[in-house]
Amino acid sequence: MAHQLLETLGLADDPRVVANVASNASVADGVIASMSPTTGEPIAGVRLDNADDYERIVAEAAEAFKQWREVPAPQRGQVVRAIGDALRENLEPLGELVALEVGKIRAEGIGEVQETVDIADFAVGLSRQLHGITMPSERPKHRMYEQWLPVGLVGIITAFNFPNAVWGWNAMLGAVSGDVCVWKPSLMAPLTAIATNAIASKTADAMGHPGIFRLVIGADDVVGERMIADRRFPLISATGSCRMGRHVGQVVAGRLGRTLLELGGNNGIIVEPDADLDLAAKSVVFGSVGTCGQRCTSTRRLIVHESIADQFTDKLVAAYRTITIGDPLEDGVLVGPLINEASVQNFESSIEAAKSQGGEVLVGGERVPASELPERLRGGHFVRPTIVRAGSQNLPIAMEETFAPILYVFSYKTLDEAIEMHNSVDQGLSSAIFSRSLCSGERFTTPSGAGSDCGLVYVNQGTSGAEIGGAFGGEKDTGGGRESGSDAWKAYMRRQTVTVNFGDEFALAQGIRFE
């Protein structure tokens, strides 16, 4: 199937792609292997860019920007519209490549590409709405207004878990804003990046706009460090760990550039006594095990009222025992593998830490034995989704973001106590409450800011699965960035205040006379 997908998406003939590659190919070789987390075998190799390649790509992008910024925004929108149509035509094979390369189930892989299609549609409409405001001037025969201008080159650094959609959020908005995007993808998902960028680039090229979508694939020390230190990038959009984000933020701030950071999440759900428990259970299960717990919005902490804690936890345990684990491209499978062996080891060490801190494993907590897997999957990185009941409110491992399907369960007495527990972690991405009470929902979303401290708040909806219409992002160690909908487009543009004197007199503000 891998070869067929590569053929369908044109990767078999791409000069970056090496058909036969050893699994131990390394950065030192100038070629890396894209490994299937499902089988542990290489899918294909990818040639890496070096320092000279980086310089050439960025220099060409800077030249392309000079032409692209002169194209009227509505015309830029038509290019993005055509890219959205091209992605629609490749929706299934590209979604299947996502599933093959990062281990998402097929529906989630296709859903991710659909998200890029959706943001392209959003950006088309946006291309006619990049408007500023007009302000009254205190000086006679003067006019003041704001306008928004392209920021220039945008460096997009993406993580493995969303190898298509996060680029789409940035690139589609950046393109209609008049920017040229240079994408550095994760080395764990380079094939999806090559296929995605090729679709966008070929579409724009055919419409007379070459070079506005660029791809640079390389090691952090060769490509990543150069990009974040490069003054030709006024904006760096980076998605990844909090540790990575701190480094990127410091380097870019050191040259007075701008960052859009989408970092970790340690997302919690509060379940009130009056909640619809069937609805809550479905949302918790998807949020905690979807993408094998490797979403930044994955549900990691469950805070349930003590009066229903046992009942609701039993309901979840029963649901977890029905989850099918296996090849993410097969029908009926709900959970695929973790991305690599290091992630499995991190999962196992987190479980051991939870036990040593007084936590009780209720279900899961182990690697899937090879004997329970078909022979072709025995090199994959499969673990059992896990529920850990905290022995007390003090479970230090739950304060960390483990990128794996581990759900920590706590109980509470009052809603104020639950909100305090919920907000006690360093990250502030996604949050949810399940309750039929209007007062509880409003308390969690209060305009005073005393409720959830996250950038995303849901009432009777899980933490994972954001729509593109709203701005996506979080607070605290999540980085403060906003992507996707609402007015997130402003991150990709620079604001300019314009004052026009259409009279013939010299006039100053604040009543100052200088004659």
Catalytic residues: 262, 296
Residue 109 Cα distances to 96, 285, 376, 408, 472, angstroms? 6, 18, 21, 26, 19
229 burial (CB, 10 Å; 0-12 / 13-18 / 19+) is middle
CA–CA dist 461, 148 (Å, integer)? 35
Question: How many CB atoms lie under 10 A from the CB of residue 227?
Answer: 25
| The pair of three-digit structure tokens given for residue 132, joined into one six-digit string | 């500023």
Give DSSP secondary structure letters for 203-247: HHHHTT-TTSEEE----IIIIIHHHHH-TT-SEEEEES-HHHHHH
222 with 190: CB under 8 angstroms?
no
- In terms of Cβ atoms closer than 10 Å to its own Cβ (0-12, 13-18, 19+), residue 247 is middle
Q: How far apart are the first and last CA of the chain?
A: 80
Neighbours of 446 (CB within 10 A): 12
Q: SS3 for 116?
A: helix
Measured CA to CA, the distance from residue 485 to residue 118 in angstroms comes to: 10
Question: Which residues, at least 6 apart from 66, have a Cβ–Cβ distance to it below 8 Å?
Answer: none
Question: How many CA atoms lie less than 13 Å away from 271 in the CB half-sphere?
Answer: 29
